[in-house]
């Protein structure tokens, strides 16, 4: 059944311009429709925020920020945004319409992809994200559903609805936005997002393309989050034996749990992806994977969710009764009153009656006084201390933040209700936490190690933005060379500060091809580099057991501690020599060179011969590829 028939917006013309024809997809924040721009007569996609969210100013601001952010990118691999507007309860974006499918559709239909296809999709995705990263934006919700593949084969990144400027607030307190299967550990644990969370998500997507399954499964989102925090993403070759080691290394680099070990942004990851592709043979690139054994995890994983930072275990939760339970009163006495002796048993009954009256009194006290709690004094305390005091008093806490010139950042400015106020039940009490002065100065972190610089920025009420690395002979490796804005600049609290970190003095990469593995390793280690030997050996003109190729080109500049991968030669490949006797010298040269040989010509006296009389290796015999074949011509 066509559900668009029941959608009230289908058939309408928004802003007198956009005719809504059909519903395409429904998401957590908005619904996407196919529409026609009646002014320009072109088909486009209309993304309309759910009316229930349009009343939320924060959601609307984020929605509008998407339009402004994406419109600034203007990249061929980013779904373009043409217009933004509102009509009544409908807030919308007019976007490029991409006829085709999503990467999720492809994975659901085909399972694992060949490495060549996976890289063909990954590279334009990284190009799009790289443009966003260099423009100062982070996507924060990369997943196969947001990768569109057009009918013409073009790949585009969509749904920048969670995009955030790196210079804006980079912390998310209380909740984490994103899809659980693709969240980076720092998003889950601290709520922080910079360009490296997109790098992590792309590594997970690459793993899924190569294997047909997400790296971390689970029956609930919590199980998936736990595995992202505590387990490395497994190598794709563990699920699909035979995948090249270079692909395993690419996934491992992108999904390192420590963000400092990942490429800095999508541009850096794209460079690594291209190096990995260049190292693979056609056979490795076109390896046909088995049908995916698992194309989806529990549905709870695939939703874009708002995940609480922490839920108290049952034993820490405080429960309160809402009424006082009392036994029903006995029936009233009947008949004439008589003076009777009170036995001992009657005295006990009288005492019980008195206690019962006292019990009623206690109940009245509970209802009128015991249900109320006085708010403790919290002013000047840290947020953590204030929360604990409220919890000890059986009260819940809500937190808002505001600027203060006099109250230290992170401490309580005021509470609502105020100190000593009596409130019913378990609260809640709203705490106003100081964000410090409305304007703060960027501290001087030059020459300081990156981790220490991050702490200094956080203490000042700022956040580390994009981190780039450059060679600098005057600054120790790993220390900050400069910041933007520079030290002493007045900025708003929670602003991002971009840092340039020193890679130390550059190391010029020597040429070690043709050297023995031990000689090459010694030379590189003495230069301050680390050495890795590739698991797969290759045929090459170099002697067997020597270095056939190196991952960094001769003369390129590396940082101390960088790793260079050496591939060992299996020796030249043996190739069948063509029979060129009787051929002209030009024809003979062409045949031999096409077979991979170097040709030398020995012309017979008086040097006018043009027909081959002899060849140094007989036709049909084998010789090492790249070796020299001498042909001799006959004289006249």
What's the CA dihedral at 293, 299, 300, 304 to 10 degrees? 100
C-alpha to C-alpha distance for 359 and 353, rounded to whole angstroms:
10
DSSP at 330: P
Is residue 11 a contact partner of residue 20, using CB atoms and an 8 Å limit?
Answer: yes
Neighbour tally for 94: CB within 10 Å? 22
String of DSSP letters for 502-525: E--SEEEPP--TTSBHHHHHHHHH
C-alpha to C-alpha distance for 615 and 636, rounded to whole angstroms:
18
Is residue 277 a contact partner of residue 249, using CB atoms and an 8 Å limit?
Answer: no
Q: Which residues contact 228 (CB under 8 A, 6 or more apart)?
A: 180, 183, 184, 185, 188, 216, 257
C-alpha to C-alpha distance for 338 and 345, rounded to whole angstroms:
18
Find, among 539, 553, 545, the residue nearest to 514 by Cα. 545
Q: Enter the tokens of residue 358.
A: 């006292």
Q: What Cα–Cα distance (Å) separates residue 110 from each residue in 73, 106, 119, 345, 467?
A: 32, 6, 16, 86, 38
Q: Enter the tokens of residue 73.
A: 């990118």
What are the percentages of helix, strand and coil residues in the chain, rounded to 5? 30, 25, 40
C-alpha to C-alpha distance for 589 and 595, rounded to whole angstroms:
10
Neighbour tally for 447: CB within 10 Å? 13
Residue entry with tokens 């400027």: 165
Active-site residue flag, 141? yes
Neighbour tally for 42: CB within 10 Å? 12
Catalytic position from the list 141, 159, 198, 264 = 141
Alpha helix segments (H runs only) across 190-315: 195-211, 221-230, 236-239, 245-254, 266-279, 282-285
Catalytically active residues, by annotation: 141
């Amino acid at each position: 059944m066509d559900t668009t028939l029941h959608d009230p917006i289908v058939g309408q013309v928004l802003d007198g311009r956009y005719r809504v024809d059909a519903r395409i997809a429904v998401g957590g924040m908005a619904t996407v429709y196919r529409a026609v721009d009646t002014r320009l007569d072109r088909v486009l996609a209309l993304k309309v925020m759910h009316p229930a969210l349009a009343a939320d100013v924060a959601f609307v601001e984020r929605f509008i920020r998407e339009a402004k952010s994406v419109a600034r990118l203007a990249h061929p691999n980013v779904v373009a945004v043409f217009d933004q507007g509102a009509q009544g309860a409908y807030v919308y974006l007019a976007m490029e319409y991409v006829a085709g499918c999503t990467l999720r559709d492809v994975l659901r239909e085909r399972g694992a992809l060949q490495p060549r296809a996976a890289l063909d999709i990954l590279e334009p995705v990284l190009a799009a994200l790289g443009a966003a990263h260099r423009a100062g934006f982070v996507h924060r919700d990369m997943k196969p559903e947001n990768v569109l593949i057009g009918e013409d084969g073009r790949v585009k990144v969509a749904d920048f609805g969670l995009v955030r400027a790196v210079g804006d607030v980079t912390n998310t307190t209380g909740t984490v936005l994103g899809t659980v299967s693709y969240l980076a550990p720092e998003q889950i644990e601290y709520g922080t997002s910079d360009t490296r969370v997109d790098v992590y998500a792309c590594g997970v997507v690459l793993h899924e393309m190569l294997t047909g399954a997400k790296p971390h499964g689970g029956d609930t989102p919590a199980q998936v989050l736990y595995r992202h925090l505590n387990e490395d993403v497994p190598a794709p070759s563990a699920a699909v034996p035979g995948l090249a080691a270079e692909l395993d290394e690419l996934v491992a680099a992108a999904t390192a749990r420590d963000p400092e070990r990942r490429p800095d942004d999508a541009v850096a990851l794209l460079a690594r992806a291209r190096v990995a592709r260049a190292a693979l043979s056609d056979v490795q690139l076109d390896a046909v994977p088995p049908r995916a054994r698992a194309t989806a995890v529990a549905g709870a994983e695939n939703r874009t969710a708002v995940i609480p930072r922490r839920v108290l275990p049952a034993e820490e939760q405080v429960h309160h009764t809402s009424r006082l339970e009392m036994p029903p009163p006995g029936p009233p006495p009947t008949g004439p009153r008589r003076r009777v002796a009170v036995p001992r048993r009657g005295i006990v009954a009288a005492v019980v009656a008195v206690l019962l009256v006292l019990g009623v009194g206690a109940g009245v006290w509970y209802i009128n006084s015991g249900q109320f709690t006085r708010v403790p004094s919290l002013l000047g305390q840290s947020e953590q201390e204030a929360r604990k005091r409220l919890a000890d008093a059986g009260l819940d806490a809500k937190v808002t933040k505001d600027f203060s010139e006099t109250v230290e950042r992170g401490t309580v400015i005021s509470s609502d209700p105020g100190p000593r106020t009596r409130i019913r039940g378990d609260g809640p009490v709203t705490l106003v936490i100081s964000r410090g002065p409305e304007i703060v100065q960027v501290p001087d972190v030059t020459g300081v190690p990156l981790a220490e610089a991050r702490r200094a920025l956080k203490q000042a009420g700022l956040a580390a933005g994009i981190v780039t690395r450059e060679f600098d002979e005057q600054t120790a490796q790993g220390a900050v060379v400069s910041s933007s804005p520079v030290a002493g600049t007045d900025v708003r609290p929670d602003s991002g500060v971009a840092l340039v970190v020193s890679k130390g003095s550059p190391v010029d990469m020597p040429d070690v091809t043709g050297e023995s593995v031990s000689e090459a390793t010694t030379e590189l280690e003495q230069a301050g580099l680390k050495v890795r030997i590739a698991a797969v050996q290759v045929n090459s003109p170099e002697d067997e057991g020597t270095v056939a190729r190196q991952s960094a080109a001769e003369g390129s500049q590396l940082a101390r501690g960088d790793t260079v991968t050496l591939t060992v030669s299996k020796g030249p490949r043996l190739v069948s020599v063509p029979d060129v006797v009787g051929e002209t010298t030009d024809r003979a040269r062409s045949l031999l060179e096409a077979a991979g040989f170097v040709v030398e010509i020995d012309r017979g006296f008086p040097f006018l011969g043009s027909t081959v009389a002899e060849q140094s290796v007989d036709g049909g015999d084998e010789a090492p590829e790249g070796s020299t074949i001498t042909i001799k011509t006959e004289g006249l």
